[in-house]
Each structure stands twice: as structure tokens, then as C-alpha cells.
Amino acid sequence: MSCGEASDQSRRFCVLTWDQVRRLDSILGEAVPIHGRGNFPTLSVQPRQIVQVVRARLEERGVCVNDVRLNGSAASHVLHQDTGLGYKDLDLIFGVSLKDDQAFRLVKDVVLDCLLDFLPVGVSKERITALTLKEAYVQKLVKVCNDSDRWSLISLSNNTGKNVELKFVDSLRRQFEFSVDSFQICLDSLLLFDRCSETPMSESFHPTVIGESVYGDFEEAMDHLCHRTIATRSPEEIRGGGLLKYCHLLVRGFRSSSEADMKHMQRYMCSRFFIDFPDIGEQQRKLEAYLQNHFAGMEHKRYECLMTLHHVVNESTVCLMGHERRQTLSLISMLALKVLAEQNAIPTVTNVTCYYQPAPYVQDINFSNYYIAHVQTPLVTPCSNSYQTWLPCN
């Protein structure tokens, strides 16, 4: 490795301050409820407990855990408390080898088996199977296995959207969407301190904890976080283009340092979004899931986010056929209207009067400058004709 490459690598890392270590310790020690479906009881789990139990159980089964990291919005919150984003999910990354399907199955079985340890005292465990635990406590299971990415995700249920997400990563080509969510904090030294030290932490006696920005430059990413700046690289590499997260950041008061650069990137975000979600039904499911998962407790922001998305799609989409672009814009508008109705922000959604300013060339005296739109809950029906969904973007 050359000196220049070593210097570039070193800029990715930073040692956490005492205040940051304290916030990290507080997050890892906070009990998080994992809600069971049906008659299954709620589990109370500290993140540090589940990390230690899962890690120990994996190593017992011969799986080497290289490191464990806190990722995403929780890591950003540790580094800068007043991010304007808060944090919902607790993203925990286990660095492991996933060389074949058997390794993927082993990781899943170990996590489900660990859940038995957190069942309340008095619950009979003999007849509870791994499948039963999955149905009761797992919100989402994801497995990705291709040439560039090998990882799996097990998301544990929380009714308020604060899911504990355990991600087991062998390789992951793209690990961030924007610089402000590119932080990862290595937990190994703090967890080792928990096990080995009888003396409580203090400002003069605490473990050295390392943070990393996978964006590439820790100080630059921290500056973006502190000043609420939107920055990314190659959004076409992100699944969904980062489009929904971008609109979310705009609603939270984040702004780009260069308007021209972001306008250029918006085109790539929109193009990648419609490549990954070409069907109007997929788009609706993605939008509804995003609003549900990222605006729990902030329902009043959903309308603003949808209107921001409408503006970006209308302004920057160049890779859709005309009828498909109008179809997507109509979907966003209907979802926004539905959100308003749920908030009782409009008296009724049976009939809504929409006013439009006619174009200058409209001279017909019979032309009406308004119409009554009959609004219903959006239903997606398959089109009878098939069209090319997207076109190459030059």
C-alpha cells in the first residue's frame, strides 16, 4: 500500500470522544421491546445483550465473527446528538463468512435459537420451534447472494418502528446512501470492557472506540452531519437510487451544498428508482412501506415528504414513458391525499375541487378551469398493454 493510499484509509477513521462513548453505552444498554404476534409475550432486550449472546453462539458453532458494528442513524446519533434525524432502527452488523447456503441457514438458526433465551420466566420452551419463533418475532428476513454482495438481514419486530436489525455481512459493495448515514462504530472494545473490567467507565478510564465513515472521509462526513448537508457519490449504485431517503432528508431540513450537482444527481436517483421498481404496484408498496417505517410518530411529515417526492419526480424524471410518468405522479398525489384524510386535514375525500390555471392558448368559451375529482383509495390494476418501462439516460 502506498503512502497516499494509507493516508486515504486513515481519513476514514476517528476515535470517539468521551461524550460519544457515553451515548453509545446508553444506546447499547437501553431495553428495546421485541413485540410478539398473537399471544406471544413481548421480549425486553438490551442491544449489548443480544450482540453478546448471538456472537458467543455463533463462535460455539464454528463461525468466526470478525467484528460487530453499530450502523446507520443510531451511529450518527452517537456521533452528533442533534442530527435532526433521530434514530429508529438499531442496525447491528456482524462481520462473518457466508461462503455457502449452509452458512446462511446456520446464522438464521442461531439468531432464532437465541430468542429463546429472552423469553420471560415461566414460558414453556419445549414445544417452541424455530419456525414458530420466526413467525412470532421476525419482522423481515433478507438474503442477498451474488457476485458482489453476500449478506443476510434479520429484523426483529417492534410496533413503534424501532426494530433491532441484525445484519450478517460477508461482502457488501455499497454500504451507505448519503454521507450523513455512512457512519459505523466498532463495538468490540466496549463489549470487551463490559466483560473484563470491574471498574465502571469514566472520562479518565474508558475503552478506545473507533468510528468509520464508509463514505471515505470521516471529517467531511461529520461536517455534513453537523451542518445538515446532503452529499453522496454515484447514486445509480444505490438500490432505489436513494430517492426516498433524499426526499426524507429534504423534509428534515437538510440541503445540498451545490444545487447544480444535486439537480444532476436527482436524475440518476429517479432513473435507478424506476429501474428497481418499474411496476406501479411495486412503487405503491415501496412508498407505503417507507412511510410506515420511517415516519412512525411523525405522521404529520408524510404529506410533506410525498409532495417533495412529487416535485422531484416531476422535475427530474427523464427515463420514463410519458404515460408512466403521469401514472406515478398520480399515485403520489393520491397517497398524499390519503395521508391528509388520515390526519383529518381535509373534511372529506369523496369530492375534492382541484383548480388549474388554463394555458394561454385555451380560448374556448366552453372551457372550464376546474373539475371535480372523485378520489378513492388508490387501487393498482394491471395494465392491459405492456410498454417499455424505462429508457437509457444519456
Residue 180 near residue 75, CB atoms below 8 Å: no
**C-alpha grid cell for residue 153?**
438481514
Mean pLDDT, rounded, of the chain: 86
Question: What is the spatial distance between Cα 59 and Cα 107, in angstroms, rounded to a whole number?
Answer: 11
Taking the C-alpha atoms of residue 4 and residue 13, their distance in angstroms, rounded to an integer, is 15
Q: How far apart are CA 293 and CA 225, in angstroms?
A: 22
Going by the DSSP 8-state scheme, the letter that residue 113 receives in this structure is H
Strands (E), the chain: 13-15, 32-34, 43-45, 68-71, 90-95, 138-145, 150-156, 164-171, 183-186, 210-213, 229-230, 255-256, 351-355, 370-374
What one-character-per-residue DSSP string does 26-75 give?
HHHHS-EEEPPSTTPPPEEE-HHHHHHHHHHHHHHTT-----EEEETHHH
Would you state the pLDDT for residue 189?
Answer: 97
Of 293, 73, 85, 65, nearest to 176 by C-alpha is 73
Res 253: pLDDT: 92
CA distance 303 to 187: 37
How many angstroms separate the Cα of 329 from the Cα of each of 235, 245, 323, 369? 22, 18, 10, 21
Q: What are the start-end ranges of the E strands in 182-268?
A: 183-186, 210-213, 229-230, 255-256
Per-residue pLDDT, 78: 95
- C-alpha to C-alpha distance for 112 and 135, rounded to whole angstroms: 10
Please report the pLDDT score of residue 218 as a whole number. 96
How far apart are the C-alpha atoms of 315 and 323, rounded to whole Å?
15
How many CB atoms sit inside 10 A of residue 179's CB?
A: 23
List pLDDT tens digits, range 172-193: 999 999 999 999 999 999 999 9
Q: What is the reported pLDDT for 381?
A: 46
Quick one: pLDDT at residue 89? 82
Q: Report the pLDDT value the prediction gives residue 350, as an integer from 0 to 100.
A: 52
**C-alpha cell of residue 274:** 424506476
End-to-end CA gap in the chain: 36
The pLDDT value recorded for residue 3 is 46
Give the whole-angstrom CA distance, residue 213 versus residue 10.
11
Q: pLDDT tens digits for 324-357?
A: 999 999 999 999 999 999 887 665 545 554 544 4
Residues 138/156, Cβ–Cβ less than 8 Å: yes
Closest CA to 280 of 330, 238, 342: 330
- pLDDT < 50 positions in the chain: 1-3, 349, 353, 355-394
Q: What is the DSSP letter of 17?
A: P
User: Tell me: the pLDDT tens digits for 145-154?
Assistant: 998 899 999 9
pTM for the model: 0.82
Query: What integer pLDDT is reported at residue 83 of this predicted model?
Result: 67
